[in-house]
């Protein structure tokens, strides 16, 4: 059900976007000249805090709180891609998950909303430490997500993201388990 919901959200975003979207383009390049004529770096960078909910793939799993932080920047190779490095923390009923992930999103906007609202879609790759009791394991995660982001002040942005993650199996207590999950979270941050 969760997979269907998230994939439907992703598909509807792409269908809704067909024909009336434009990639986000920026006049900024990796280097520009300052007033003194010196080259300076101008790659847009932002940092943010994340908070939301996560649900495992089991029949009895419920949505539980999770939080984290994000470093986002314009891709060096394309101004249409926002690279997001994220740290997320989840701790429920003795199960702790700490995740580092890379989430590059192809960014576009709708003509009707102007260029202030950015939509994104892209893959997810991560590594997660799973801990239960005295046992822990490292697993890899991969998935697909979609996002929206807008500036609410000069350098302040807010946004939301949803994604589904598949995982390799973790061996805890002599038992192999998958930790596939869905995440939905909000973000607020500062752009430099």
pTM attached to this predicted model: 0.77
How far separated are the first and last CA of the chain, in Å rounded?
Answer: 39
Quickly state the pLDDT bin for 14 (edges 50, 70, 90): very low
Domain membership of residue 115 (yes or no) is yes
Domain membership of residue 37 (yes or no) is no
Q: What is the pLDDT of residue 174?
A: 87
Tell me the mean pLDDT in the region 86-114: 91
Domain membership of residue 29 (yes or no) is no
Domain membership of residue 86 (yes or no) is yes
Domain membership of residue 94 (yes or no) is yes
Average pLDDT value over all residues in the chain:
83
- The C-alpha atoms of residue 154 and residue 30 are separated, in whole angstroms, by 21
More confident residue, 19 or 77: 77
Question: Helix or strand or coil: residue 38?
Answer: coil
Q: How far is CA 42 from CA 20, 30, 32, 76, 150, in A?
A: 29, 6, 6, 11, 20
Q: What is the pLDDT of residue 179?
A: 94
Domain with residue 152: its CATH number is: 2.40.160.20
Domain total of the chain: 1
Q: How far is CA 114 from CA 19, 23, 73, in A?
A: 15, 12, 21
Domain membership of residue 34 (yes or no) is no
Domain membership of residue 83 (yes or no) is yes
**62 is in which domain, residue-wise?**
2-22+44-191
Q: What is the pLDDT of residue 60?
A: 79
Domain membership of residue 136 (yes or no) is yes
Summarised one tens digit per residue, pLDDT across range 135-184 is 999 999 999 999 999 999 888 999 999 999 999 999 998 899 999 999 99
- The C-alpha atoms of residue 116 and residue 130 are separated, in whole angstroms, by 38
């Amino acid at each position: 059900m969760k997979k269907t919901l998230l994939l439907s959200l992703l598909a509807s975003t792409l269908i809704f976007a067909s024909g009336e979207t434009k990639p986000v383009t920026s006049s900024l390049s990796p280097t520009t000249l300052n007033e003194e004529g010196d080259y300076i770096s101008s790659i847009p960078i932002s940092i943010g805090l994340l908070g939301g909910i996560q649900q495992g793939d089991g029949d009895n799993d419920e949505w539980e709180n999770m939080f984290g932080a994000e470093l986002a920047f314009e891709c060096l190779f394309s101004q249409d891609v926002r690279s997001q490095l994220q740290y997320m923390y989840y701790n429920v009923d003795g199960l702790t998950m700490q995740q580092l992930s890379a989430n590059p999103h192809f960014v576009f906007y709708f003509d009707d909303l102007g260029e202030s609202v950015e939509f994104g879609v892209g893959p997810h790759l991560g590594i997660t430490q799973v801990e239960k009791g005295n046992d822990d394991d490292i697993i890899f995660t991969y998935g697909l997500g979609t996002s929206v982001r807008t500036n609410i002040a000069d350098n302040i942005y807010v946004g939301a993201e949803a994604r589904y993650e598949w995982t390799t199996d973790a061996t805890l207590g002599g038992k192999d388990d998958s930790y596939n999950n869905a995440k939905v979270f909000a973000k607020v941050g500062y752009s430099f």
